[in-house]
Amino acid sequence: MIVCPGEDLAPWIRSLKGLDPALAIRVWPDVADVTEIEFALVWNHPPGELRRYPNLKCIASLGAGVDRILGDSELPRGVPVTKVVDAALMRAMTEYVALAVLNHYRDMDRYRRDQERQQWAPRFPRPREAMAIGIMGLGQLGADSAAKLRDMGFAVGGWSRTPKQIDGVESFHGSEQLTRFLSRTDVLICLLPLTPQTRGILNRGTFQGLRRGSYVINVARGGHLVEEDLVEALDTGQLSGACLDVFREEPLPARHPFWVHPRILVTPHVSSLTDPDAVAPQILENYRRVMAGDPPLYQVDVERGY
Amino acid sequence: MIVCPGEDLAPWIRSLKGLDPALAIRVWPDVADVTEIEFALVWNHPPGELRRYPNLKCIASLGAGVDRILGDSELPRGVPVTKVVDAALMRAMTEYVALAVLNHYRDMDRYRRDQERQQWAPRFPRPREAMAIGIMGLGQLGADSAAKLRDMGFAVGGWSRTPKQIDGVESFHGSEQLTRFLSRTDVLICLLPLTPQTRGILNRGTFQGLRRGSYVINVARGGHLVEEDLVEALDTGQLSGACLDVFREEPLPARHPFWVHPRILVTPHVSSLTDPDAVAPQILENYRRVMAGDPPLYQVDVERGY
């Protein structure tokens, strides 16, 4: 069963059927017999819905995030939840992050504003190593972005719940090291999973802990950001700008202040789109595994939240 | 003697004196005795000026380009002309080129326009290898950009006057292969030296040879581009956009159509600014060499033009 309200599912069905033409696929809500469903491919499902299927053996997220699934208080217990782990998805995410960092480092938004005012004002960029990057979240995506930005010559630090080691990256962990991490950061990048502990972590206190004039990039989840606090920090000059790809409500509603804020760059959740052709093989592999009674790949820890 | 009208020379004098406090420096036009001058550090000098110094042993460009020097029809014959070769300058140039390519590949200008209209419209990017990059000029800067873009997963071709070989880059050369080179290109990047042969090479015929909807990046010299032809190609849709860092006249004049063109991104010649601290050592090394009667490093071929 595919439960993805509002998504165009044709590419997914084409990719899955292309790999296994005999695969029986039901598209929610068009499911006559709930006992028939053993595997659910899920994105933005209606809370409570998944407990209606007594023979469900696996809940597979269509993307890397599982916060919407785990946020369902009526999720059937004991059914494994899996996420997508995909090299192309990681590459796209790291590319978006590198682009957002370079756009800021090379003053491109300032030059765009100069162009609007027909002003020719070259500026020498500061030394690369003087713009400290701080990455929140050092899972697969965060670690890959950290390594890439380190290779580009930036001073990179990372912060995660538990200690992590990445060559050439200054690592911090736990709430007790958050202040030190923030105080050495000029560009804050959020790549955390969204859990009850990380919800709203991009807030006034966090922004005040950064160096003055810092830049914020959020490519994780809209729920990480306290939107009012961002606008306040931009208006006081504590932050110089932000690049946001995710929002509390998506699509970003009409008349939301982010649309027109001169220091906020809005992109419509495109930092890393899941490619059905790239991901269908691992979905199918997990389908086969659970049907054979084996544990699925890329299972998330439901208690930990990612 | 430093001949750089309009430039702030304090950082240059500080860097040179920092390396050799005994160095005798004259800043043009404040030169009492023309026979005293043996070495000239030059940027945008007035044509004809350099032949006034009978003991001149070397003309050193302050940057990687020497077109303004060689364009002086009264340049003293037989005096070697040198350019700057600097790893930091190359890194900055390649970084700018990568940024411009990613900005286009990831549709960032389209998302900026969407933001102005408060429109949420995610698009799946085409496969990376389906956006063919074509680099004109495979000298040090062009070769470095080609290798970087190849490593980023793009299909990269290069075109140069004489045959060049770069691993994983499809190479073309000479006027007879220009058409083939253009016909496989979606993003055209100009990194050529400006010579009588390359002046105006970015013209209507070149744009028409590209795939429809191509994107143009000029980081070489303003003289490469026939500005009217670019506007025409954008208006007919043959080109989808352009990122320009260099212009026929700099600063770009007030009321120039590029300032307000919705498909042109203007930056004020910042793709790679020469850092005095990084470059002073090689200037000084060449000064010592020519004073000792040795040939200078990084000498350009005056006939060839680069």
Interval B233-260: pLDDT, tens: 999 999 999 999 999 999 999 999 999 9
Banded pLDDT at B7 (limits 50, 70, 90): confident
Average pLDDT, consecutive stretches of 10 residues, N- to C-terminus, chain A (306 residues): 92 95 96 97 96 97 92 95 92 97 97 97 88 97 97 96 96 97 98 96 98 98 98 98 97 96 97 90 97 96 91
Residue-level pLDDT at A78:
94
- Interacting residues of B172 by C-beta distance below 8 A, sequence separation 6+: B157, B158, B159, B160, B178, B180, B181
Cross-chain Cβ contact B275/A124 below 8 Å:
yes
Other CB atoms within 10 A of residue A210 CB: 23
Q: With CA atoms as reference, report the closest residue to A188 among A162, A213, A161, A153.
A: A213
Banded pLDDT at B23 (limits 50, 70, 90): very high
Please check whether residue A278 touches B, CB under 8 A: no
Is the per-residue pLDDT at B126 higher than 90? no
Cross-chain Cβ contact B267/A153 below 8 Å:
no
Angle in degrees, 0-180, between the axes of helices B10-19 and B276-291, rounded to the nearest 10 = 60
- Interacting residues of B253 by C-beta distance below 8 A, sequence separation 6+: none
Banded pLDDT at B6 (limits 50, 70, 90): confident
Nearest CA in chain B to A153: B91
Other CB atoms within 10 A of residue A18 CB: 12
Two structure tokens written together for B18: 């920092």
Which of B124, B259, B267 is facing A118, going by the closest CB pair? B259
Measured between beta carbons, which residues in chain A are less than 8 angstroms from residue B250?
Answer: 120
Cross-chain Cβ contact B120/A251 below 8 Å:
yes
Nearest CA in chain B to A278: B127
Q: Which of B89, B99, B154, B246 to mutate to test the interface with A (most CBs of A within 10 A)?
A: B99
Phi–psi pair at A299, nearest 5 degrees: -75, 140
Which of A122, A265, A275 is facing B270, going by the closest CB pair? A122
Cross-chain Cβ contact A99/B106 below 8 Å:
yes
Residue-level pLDDT at A7:
84
Cross-chain Cβ contact A106/B96 below 8 Å:
yes
Residue-level pLDDT at B51:
97
Two structure tokens written together for A46: 């209606």
Residue-level pLDDT at A129:
84
Please check whether residue B130 touches A, CB under 8 A: no
Residue-level pLDDT at B128:
87
Report DSSP state, residue B34: G
Measured between beta carbons, which residues in chain B are less than 8 angstroms from residue A251?
Answer: 120
Highest mean pLDDT among A271-275, B82-86, B206-210: B206-210
Residue-level pLDDT at B221:
97
> By CB neighbour count within 10 A (0-12 exposed, 13-18 middle, 19+ buried), where does B31 fall?
middle
Nearest CA in chain A to B153: A91
Please check whether residue A123 touches B, CB under 8 A: yes
Residue-level pLDDT at A6:
85
What's the CA angle centered on A264, arms A260 and A265, to 5 degrees?
Answer: 100
Cross-chain Cβ contact A267/B108 below 8 Å:
yes
Nearest CA in chain B to A249: B120
Active-site residue set of A: 221, 269
Measured between beta carbons, which residues in chain A are less than 8 angstroms from residue B122?
Answer: 268-270, 273
Please check whether residue A269 touches B, CB under 8 A: yes
Measured between beta carbons, which residues in chain A are less than 8 angstroms from residue B252?
Answer: 120
Which of B122, B260, B266 is facing A270, going by the closest CB pair? B122
Cross-chain Cβ contact B259/A124 below 8 Å:
no
Reply yes or no: is the peptide bond before residue A251 cis, omega within 30 of 0.
yes
Which of B103, B122, B266 is facing A269, going by the closest CB pair? B122
Nearest CA in chain B to A118: B259
B27 vs B226: CA distance, rounded Å: 35
Cross-chain Cβ contact B118/A259 below 8 Å:
yes
Measured between beta carbons, which residues in chain A are less than 8 angstroms from residue B259?
Answer: 115, 118
Question: Over the Cα atoms of chain A, what is R_g?
Answer: 21
CA distances from B110 to A26, A267, B104 (A): 36, 10, 9
Please check whether residue B165 touches A, CB under 8 A: no
Other CB atoms within 10 A of residue A74 CB: 11
Catalytic annotation, pick one of B45, B221, B224, B263: B221
Which of B121, B153, B260 is facing A268, going by the closest CB pair? B121
The answer to whether residue B104 is catalytic is no
Which pTM was predicted?
Answer: 0.90
Cross-chain Cβ contact B103/A107 below 8 Å:
no
Nearest C-alpha of chain B: how many angstroms from A47? Answer: 25
Cross-chain Cβ contact B99/A103 below 8 Å:
yes
Is the per-residue pLDDT at B273 higher than 90? no
Q: Which of A99, A123, A261 to mutate to test the interface with B (most CBs of B within 10 A)?
A: A99
Cross-chain Cβ contact B111/A270 below 8 Å:
yes
CA distances from A243 to A109, A260, A273, B190 (A): 11, 13, 17, 29
- Calculate mean pLDDT across residues B60-87: 94
Measured between beta carbons, which residues in chain B are less than 8 angstroms from residue A276?
Answer: none
Cross-chain Cβ contact B255/A114 below 8 Å:
no
Residue-level pLDDT at B117:
97
Report DSSP state, residue B182: H
What's the CA angle centered on B144, arms B141 and B148, to 5 degrees?
Answer: 140
Please check whether residue A19 touches B, CB under 8 A: no
Nearest CA in chain A to B120: A268
Cross-chain Cβ contact B115/A266 below 8 Å:
yes
Residue-level pLDDT at B249:
96
